[in-house]
Amino acid sequence: MYRVAEDFVKDWAISSKGALKVMQAIPDDKMHIAIVDEHNSLGWLSWHLVSVAGAFGHFAGLQIPGPGPDMPQPETMAGIIEKYEMVREAYKKEAAALTEEQLLEEVPAFGGMMKRGELLGKVISHQTHHIGQMTVLLRQAGLAVPPVMGPTKEMQ
């Protein structure tokens, strides 16, 4: 639950930088990698982070340029990364302008009401959850795992 916009902006900068590193570690020919067939792939998870961040932003009343529900996943990681970088920058700008009062306002989200500051916390928690999944898939694909929150085994 964020009560000060600056705190979210700082956490978002760290979280989104980690997400970007993970996305940049995925070559196009590994976008299809999933733990087993018909589970979420690296490409799908990357695109999911873009689209869901847009939806969370919409619920929070922020102008986040997320893709619409009918927009297909780009065929390359460069296409996904381009959209993610737009979302990343929009959150920095939009969230920085929120007041303490706005962070405490209740907004409609996920079939109920939620404080805007709580919703912003869920954006980061959701992203962290999927970044963890993606690092496991990177290893499964035989790819190097980038440092998200510190050094990785490959760096030791």
Instruction: Classify residue 91: in a domain, yes or no.
Output: yes
Q: Is 39 known as a binding-site position?
A: no
The domain that contains 122 carries what CATH number? 1.20.120.450
Element (H, E) at 156: none
Structure tokens, 81: 């990364």
For the chain, what is the domain count? Answer: 1
Q: Is 129 known as a binding-site position?
A: no
Instruction: Classify residue 155: in a domain, yes or no.
Output: no
pLDDT tens per residue, the chain (156 residues)?
999 999 999 999 999 999 999 999 999 999 998 988 888 999 999 999 999 999 999 999 999 998 887 889 999 999 999 999 999 999 999 999 999 999 999 999 989 999 999 999 999 999 999 999 999 999 999 999 999 988 888 788
Q: Is 32 known as a binding-site position?
A: no
Instruction: Classify residue 125: in a domain, yes or no.
Output: yes
Q: Which residues pair with 115 in a beta bridge?
A: 106
Instruction: Classify residue 50: in a domain, yes or no.
Output: yes
Which residue range(s) make up the domain with 21?
5-150
DSSP class per residue in 90-137: HHHHHHHT--HHHHHSEEEETTEEEEHHHHHHHHHHHHHHHHHHHHHH
pTM of the model: 0.92
DSSP state of 21: H
Nearest to 54 by CA among 23, 86, 81: 86
